[in-house]
Amino acid sequence: MFSAMLGEAWHAMGANRLRTFLTMLGMVIGVGAVVLMMAIGQGAEASVKRSISAMGSHLFVVLSGPPRMGGARTATGNAPSLNVRDANAIGELYGVVGVAPVTMGKGQVVYASNNWNTDIIGTTAEYMDIRGWGLSAGYPFSTSDTRSATRVALLGKTVVQNLFGEEDDVDPIGKTIRINQRPFVVLGVLDSKGQTLDGRDQDDTIIVPLTTAQRKLFGNQLPGTVRQIMVQAESDNVMSMVEDALNSLLNQRHNIREGADSDFSVRNLTAIANSAAETARTMSLLLGAIASVSLLVGGIGIMNIMLVSVTERTREIGIRMAIGARERDILMQFLLEAIMISIVGCLIGIVIGVTGAVLVSVFTQAEVIVSSASVLIAFSVAASIGVFFGFYPARKAARLNPIEALRYQ
């Protein structure tokens, strides 16, 4: 009986093709928009998330400064108030799983006839773990390299491309390059990290041992000082505890009285990144919500046409009732028709939405993700819209008085 009804619903849809198509169009556009918008939103979210994980998780950065120089404060990181001993002390704190003191500067790099100006990061071997940064080739430097200030370097991908050419015909591992005139052996090539949230190229960088940078590259203002200390907490839960501990430890070590200005600042990188992710998620939701409005409009279109259809087919309903259709048979017949229109519209909409998403990613290079969840959601929402907006017309049909329906011209 159900299959007979399905067949009839299919027939009824085919009876007035243009009208069915136009009704369906509302659904097609609605579902297409939802699928496409969710794909764009989720793509944006994913690319933000990747930037975050590229930075490393549960991270603090302790910057030196801001010091007071005759009343005017200078930028953070300028006065070297942090040193390696601070970093070691931080490493002892409960909840801290990694510490890397960092000093940095610019350097002119030369290999053969090529040269390039890039950021030089001097740090310890732990830095790589904290930032979750691996090597695509070669080996990282070790603690003994840091201890003995050997002239070894890890190159970012951009640096490799500029020094050794775009083609991979030269293997940079083991080659000697010059940084600020001094020879360095290339130990490894860093994994590509892409851009930061603000568009800085993270691959345009060279990592050398901290001591090497301090003693052999950037001269030395105060022995052992560093520009910043990266700190990794164990988990999200201990973030605030670690932040408090960092502040009190460093205040104590730097003899800063309560209420006085600190000569360092602690920044929670993860919080900043999370707010960016939150923004992306909000945008994704907003896009979805706007697209859902068109689904709603599509649903209203279905209801409208079903009401017209019930009126047009009043006599048919009367005949069906006279030969034994129950109220629920009539209800089911019109409900099935509405659901069928919305589901077929939805399927076409999914195809169009996915195609649109592919086109967007091809033409704008923006990341789009069509998740099966978004397709499922669009599908079930469309089906429920069919039920919801089909129910009133169907009930109207089912409640017709058979005699009046039979007399209807």
H-only helix segments in 187-326: 210-212, 239-253, 269-312, 314-322
- In the window 386-405, what residues touch other proteins (CB under 8 A)? 402-403
Count the alpha carbons within 13 Å of 338 in the hemisphere toward its beta carbon: 34
Per-residue buried b or exposed e for 73-89, using 16+ beta carbons within 10 Å of the residue's own CB: eeebbebbbbbbebbee
Q: Of 11 and 73, which has the nearer Cβ to other proteins?
A: 11
Burial call 326-339: b when 16+ CB within 10 Å, e when fewer: eeeebbbbbbbbbb
Residue window 5-24: x/- pattern of binding to other proteins, with contact defined by CB under 8 A: x-----xx--x---------
Closest separation in Å from C-beta 21 to other proteins: 18
Q: Quick check: 37 binds other proteins (CB under 8 A)? A: no
| Choice between 177 and 317, CB closer to other proteins | 317
94, burial (CB in 10 Å: exposed 0-12, middle 13-18, buried 19+)? exposed
Residue 14 CB, nearest approach to other proteins (Å) = 9
Q: Which of 4, 71, 199, 221 binds other proteins (CB under 8 A)?
A: 4
Instruction: Assess contact for 228 and 267: CB atoms under 8 A.
Output: no
Residue number, 73 or 399, with CB nearest to other proteins: 399
Q: Which residues, listed in sequence order, are joined to residue 100 by a DSSP beta bridge?
A: 230
Considering only residues 100-159, where is the footprint of other proteins by CB under 8 A? none
> Judged by CB, which is closer to other proteins: 5, or 307?
5
User: Closest distance between other proteins and the C-beta of residue 31, in Å?
Assistant: 29
Q: Strand 182-190 to strand 135-138: parallel, antiparallel, or no bridges (unpaired)? A: antiparallel
- How many chain residues are in contact with other proteins, going by CB under 8 A? 24
Show the CA angle centred on residue 191, arms to residues 189 and 196, nearest 5°: 125
Beta carbon nearer to other proteins, 311 or 355: 311
Query: Is the Cβ of residue 354 or residue 398 nearer to other proteins in the bound state?
Result: 398
- The amino acid sitting at 74 is T
Minimum CB separation of residue 336 from other proteins in Å reads: 13
State the binding string over 308-337 for other proteins (x if CB under 8 A, else -).
Answer: -------xx-xxxxxxxxxxxx--------
Among 6, 281, 406, 408, binds other proteins (CB under 8 A): 406
Residues 30 and 350: beta-carbon distance below 8 Å: no
Using CB under 8 A as the binding rule, the residues of this chain from 226 to 285 that contact other proteins are none
Name the residue nearer to other proteins (CB basis): 106 or 328.
328
Residue type, 24: M
Integer CA distances (angstroms), 226 to 80, 132, 148, 229, 246, in order: 6, 21, 17, 7, 16
> Which positions lie near other proteins, rule CB under 8 A?
1, 3-5, 11-12, 15, 315-316, 318-329, 402-403, 406
